[in-house]
Amino acid sequence: QEYSGTVLIVSHDRTFLDNVVTQSIVFEGDGKLTEIVGGYADWQAWKAQQAKAAQQPASARPPAAAASPKPAAKSSLSYKEARELEALPVQIQALEAEQEALAARLADPTLYQDQPQEVAALHARTQAIEAELLGALARWEALEAKQAG
């Protein structure tokens, strides 16, 4: 879940592909490659939609300007941004957990008696977490807004 690179998977197991991949490159013959966001089921749905659109007479097709905005919204995030959007809730949760642990530690009166030199470091880390948390929340909001269109 934390790997940010690319893994190329070749498989005949359609269920495995649907559960694992976020993007597919389909070899359709005659040297034609099609890149699809999602797994095998997403490609099948896209292929059926393309076949249906090809069967409609030109007069029955909606004008190009009136194309559905949903695919555009889905692809409005880059692959990297989509991965970042997936990782942000986990990062925010970890920061909040660390923030709570530090608050509990700073609330302990024995800390101030036994280790007064550590108090300043804990306060500094608490402030750093607050800044990181605000940045992560702002980024999450921005990516959600961009994805929504």
Residue 36 CA to residue 22 CA, distance in Å, equals 9
Residue 87: is it exposed, middle or buried by C-beta count within 10 angstroms (0-12/13-18/19+)? middle
Q: What is the CATH number of the domain that holds 127?
A: 1.10.287.380
Number of domains present in the structure of the chain: 2
Are residues 38 and 86 both part of a single domain? Answer: no
Q: Which domain holds residue 18?
A: 14-67
Evaluate whether residue 8 is within a structural domain. no
The residue-averaged pLDDT of 134-146 equals: 90
**Res. 57 pLDDT band, cuts 50 70 90:** low
Evaluate whether residue 72 is within a structural domain. no
Q: Tell which of 23, 46, 67 closes a domain.
A: 67
Task: Please tell me which residue, 119 or 58, carries the higher pLDDT value.
Answer: 119
89 token code pair: 């809730």
Residue 84 CA to residue 77 CA, distance in Å, equals 10
The residue-averaged pLDDT of 2-19 equals: 81
Is the pLDDT at 82 greater than 60? The verdict is: yes
pTM for this one?
Answer: 0.48
State the pLDDT at residue 1. Answer: 57
Task: Please tell me which residue, 98 or 14, carries the higher pLDDT value.
Answer: 98
